[in-house]
Structure 1
Amino acid sequence: MQETTYAETNGTLAEFGRQVRSVKAIVITIFNFIVTVVAAFACTYLGSQYVFAETAARVLSAVIVASVVGLAELYVMVRTLEGDLGKL
Structure 2
Amino acid sequence: MTVMDDWLTAAGAELGVDPADVPVQAVLDLARDVAHQVLRPGAPVSAYLLGLAVGRGADPATAAARLTELAGTWPVELGGDRNPG
TM bracket (short chain): 0.3 to 0.5
Q: Who wins on radius of gyration, i.e. which is larger? A: 1
Q: Indicate the structure whose relative CO is greater, using CA pairs within 8 Å and at least 6 residues apart.
A: 2
TM-score, L = length of structure 2? 0.32
Q: Report the TM-score when normalising by structure 1.
A: 0.32
Which is helix-richer, 1 or 2? 1
